[in-house]
Structure 1
Amino acid sequence: MTMLTARGDADFDLYPYTPSATAGYAFVALFSLGGLVHICMLIPLRAWFFIPFVLGCAGEASGYYGRAWSHSDIRNGSPYLLQLMLILASAPLLAASVYMSLGRIIRALDATHHAVLSPRWTTKIYVVIDIGSFVTQMMGTAMQASGDAAGVKTGNTIVVAGLGVQLGAFAVFILSVVVFHRRLVLEPTEVSLEFKNWARSMWMLYAVSGLIVVRSSFRLVEFMSGSSGKLYNTEVYLYVFDASLMFTAVVITAAVHPGILLRATRNRERGIPLL
């Protein structure tokens, strides 16, 4: 990817085009609105495991602000690094809440015996992997700001590794969701029989996981292709295969929030009928 000087302005263009201010500000507004909606849902649903998701929305909004800022000066290193780091590293924050949702859904449906791993270990393993992916991608993008060719190359390799780990983890995660879903359909629990809409939460996991996989695959190919690749040199691809997909994930999780299922099962324990 393109090299940054340590600070201030570069002596060359940091983008192969002038970033669109309109598109940048549009996604600042969309992710800000999405984050606000999730904050409003997080509190009444007591879905504290969605705090990383809200932080991911904030990161996405800040990243696209960086792109809008870059429109006025494509040699300014500050907004370039801001958008590079935050847009890249916000997806693991969104993914963390998705990972944590599965374990909570399994326990809420009283179906731990159908899980591939115990919900406790499922959450811990995937969140640790996700944190590792997040830290790796942040380190890689920071190294790209070192100002020397070796640092840029090493940073690019680290980012590619982080994206690869994220994709591998999601592949195993989706398989775990499929196995659990199938087992629960074949052998329903009392809770799943009472709460007819539980499958919506599973389809939400499939949809959001699929969106993140496509997005991460795009970024992986982009970084592997380097600054001469078509994906890096054409801005529209970023908005089609990253911004739009991640915002769609924000909308889907708001429409089918796992916290709704968890609240219903908590109410059931207190004697309030399920919906």
Structure 2
Amino acid sequence: MNNLHSRGGEVEFDLYPYAPSPTAGYAFLALFGIGGLVHLCMLIPLRAWFFILFVLGCVGEAAGYYGRAWSHSNIRNGSPYLIQLMLILASAPLLAATIYMTLGRLVRALEAEEHAFLSPCWTTKIYVLIDIGSFITQTSGAAMQASGDPEGIKTGKTIVIGGLCVQLGAFAVFIVSVGIFHRRLVLVPMEVSRMHDTWRRYMWMLYAVSGLIIVRSIFRLAEFTEGANGHLYKTETFLYLFDASIIFLVVVIMAILHPGILLRALYFAAAARSN
């Protein structure tokens, strides 16, 4: 069997070691759908256009879990398998890109460029480029893993592992960058940071969501390293505990402490000062 889409999308082997739970799949379809809608509704009045990728990430997650629910009826149907494999893997980098862009915007809004580890412009460009690379590798690797060709599966697995390693490394350096900026601004406050002390909670928000995505990436890395015969891959509960739940928690935290709220407040404060 060399093609996943033989005989109308069905293959001659099981694509899962279990029948995916439709209840869990539909539950996270609903949760990510609601999360995406909430962020879309916040994006417009806050004019936080950089959150468009975040909304798309929520849509991708929702569609991915729809694929898992759909797979329950036929674990040899390649179409829903491809949907869930590619979208659940590839949606996290879209959320990560928004987190990266948040730091640069906070640095500029706080008028604290001199405290940044890298200039806000370079911070956004470097991390978003890394994230694009991670997105492409994980998507292409997932597509290759969905092949019935053993060589393609092996290559796809290697590519996905590489993409996850890049994502892990990028977030590790990103957290260090957040920490350096945070410490410098505490030690040498700027006028804006003195006037709007709420910026501190947004630093802790960045630590929290970055840490969560690191945990998720470590789980995915361990899962792909173990392979199809590993305990992590064979136990569906782990996917929902260490991927779905963690990514949804990121969505919730970013809604409660939406960076657009602080950025909007700082924008109006700066406009009032200039007048």
TM-score tier, shorter chain, comes to over 0.9
1:131 partner amino acid: I
Determine if the alignment matches structure 1 residue 5 to structure 2 residue 4: yes
Cα deviation code 1:97-148 (max 9, x no counterpart): 0000000000000100000100000000000000000000011011123321
Letter in 2 for 1:209: S
Q: How far apart, in 1, do the equivalents of 2:222 and 2:213 lie?
A: 14
Residue 241 of structure 1 corresponds to 242
**Alpha-carbon distance between aligned partners in 2 of 1:139 and 1:15, rounded to the nearest angstrom:** 20
Q: Deviations over 1:10-39 (max 9, x none)?
A: 111111011000000000000000000000
Structure 1 position 97 matched with structure 2 position 98: yes
Paired letter, 2:155: T
Q: Letter of the aligned partner of 2:244 in structure 1?
A: A
Change (3 A) 1:98 1:4: farther
- Superposed counterparts of 1:171-250, under 5 Å: 171-250=172-251
- 1:4 is displaced (CA, Å) by 6.5
- Letter in structure 2 aligned against 1:170: F
Matches within 5 A, 1:26-41: 26-41=27-42
Distance (Å, rounded) in 2 between the aligned partners of 1:207 and 1:46: 24
Q: CA deviation at 1:223?
A: 0.2
Partner of 2:76: 75
Unaligned segments of structure 2, at least 5 residues: none
Percentage of pairs with the same residue: 70
SS at 1:179 equivalent: helix
* More displaced 10-residue stretch of structure 1: 164-173 or 146-155: 146-155
Q: How many residues align?
A: 271
Give the Cα separation in 2 of the matches to 1:10 and 1:171.
40
Is the CA contact 1:4–1:14 (under 8 Å) kept in the aligned structure 2?
Answer: no
Q: How does 1:112-123 map to 2 (within 5 A)?
A: 112-123=113-124
Q: SS at 1:74's partner residue?
A: coil
How far apart are 1:270 and its partner, in Å? 2.1
Counterpart residue type for residue 19 of structure 2: T
In the superposition, the TM-score normalised over structure 1's length comes to: 0.97
In 1: Cα distance, 2:3 partner to 2:16 partner: 11
Separation in 1 of the partners of 2:143 and 2:85?
9
| Counterpart residue identity of residue 257, structure 1 | H
Q: Give the secondary-structure state (helix, strand or coil) at the position aligned to 1:14.
A: coil
Distance 1:106 1:116 in 2: 10
Q: Does the 8 Å CA contact 1:114/1:184 hold for their aligned counterparts?
A: yes
Rounded to whole Å, the distance in 2 between the matches of 1:14 and 1:264 is: 50
Give, as a single letter, the amino acid of the residue that structure 1 aligns with 2:182: H
Deviation of the 1:6 alpha carbon: 3.6
Unaligned runs of 5+ in 1: none
Tell me how far apart the structure 1 counterparts of residues 43 and 129 of structure 2 sit (CA, whole Å).
23
1:271 aligns to what SS in structure 2? helix
1:163–1:216: 8 Å Cα contact kept in structure 2? yes
- Per-residue CA distance 1:49-93 (angstroms, 9 max, x = gap): 111100000000000000000011111000011000000110000
